């Protein structure tokens, strides 16, 4: 079993070994209002989940309920509310020209990871400021950094790193809901929304890590260096 250290130490090591420009972002799912970590304020503006992730990577700590989530499709993937009907059926993305037919849009939406709508809020923090155990840790990286992180993921147990995405609902469903539900990391390339609204760059890829094995990842990066 790999030991975990304080999250400030882990964040520093991720930045050091990967050469990250931005802080990794810690995400915690909260079922009830009473479970919000002490001292964490509610988000002071309404933004998309991908924008909230970027806000946290810049140093802010906060929580957001469905009311603070501007993108309702993303909020639904994260378990904060029911999906709007047109998102659920794929009609919304078909209307945007993302699919050749409503059937292909619906098939894709049915395969995207979604958490049952039972969550009260998500807590966001730069990893070094997390006063909670994160369920998911998001790393915004370039391809070379993601490569090194992928090598760290297979360093101890072997195997392969799977990348599961469809070019929509990327930072919400692919990078957070998927790792939370499946208990394994995922790599995704962003989506039109996150690149338009959340300043995801052309050469950015997004890695969603599960919180419980982050100590192993740090040990692997250290040994590989």
> pLDDT tens across 159-189, in order?
999 999 999 999 999 999 999 999 999 999 9
Q: What is the mean pLDDT of the chain?
A: 95
Separation CA 221–CA 53 (nearest Å): 24
Distinct helix (H) and strand (E) counts, the chain: 10, 6
Of 1-10, 41-50, 94-103, 200-209, least confident by mean pLDDT is 1-10
Q: Using alpha carbons only, what angle is made at residue 61 by residues 55 and 62, rounded to the nearest 5 degrees?
A: 95
Going from N- to C-terminal start, the domains of the chain cover: 7-224
Phi, psi torsion values for 180, nearest 5 degrees: -65, -45
143 CB-side CA count, 13 A? 3
Q: Using alpha carbons only, what angle is made at residue 217 by residues 146 and 31, rounded to the nearest 5 degrees?
A: 95
pLDDT of residue 55: 97
pLDDT of residue 3: 44
Above 60 in pLDDT, residue 27? yes
């Amino acid at each position: 079993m790999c030991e975990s250290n304080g999250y400030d130490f882990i964040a520093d090591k991720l930045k050091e070994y990967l050469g990250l420009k931005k802080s990794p972002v810690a995400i915690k799912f909260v079922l009830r209002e009473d479970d919000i970590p002490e001292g964490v304020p509610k988000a002071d503006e309404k933004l998309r989940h991908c924008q909230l992730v970027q806000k946290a990577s810049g140093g802010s700590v906060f929580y957001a309920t469905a009311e603070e989530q501007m993108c309702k499709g993303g909020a639904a993937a994260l378990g904060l509310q029911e999906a709007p009907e047109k998102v659920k059926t794929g009609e919304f993305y078909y209307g945007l020209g993302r699919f050749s037919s409503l059937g292909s849009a619906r098939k894709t939406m049915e395969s995207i990871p979604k958490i049952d709508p039972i969550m009260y809020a998500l807590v966001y923090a730069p990893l070094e400021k997390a006063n909670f155990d994160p369920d998911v840790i998001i790393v915004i990286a370039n391809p070379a950094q993601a490569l090194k992180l992928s090598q760290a993921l297979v360093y101890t147990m072997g195997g392969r790193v799977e990348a599961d995405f469809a070019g929509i609902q990327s930072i919400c469903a692919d990078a957070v809901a998927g790792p939370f539900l499946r208990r394994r990391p995922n790599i995704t390339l962003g989506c039109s929304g996150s690149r338009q609204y959340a300043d995801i760059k052309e050469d950015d890829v997004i890695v969603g890590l599960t919180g419980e094995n982050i100590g192993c990842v740090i040990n692997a990066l250290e040994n590989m260096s």
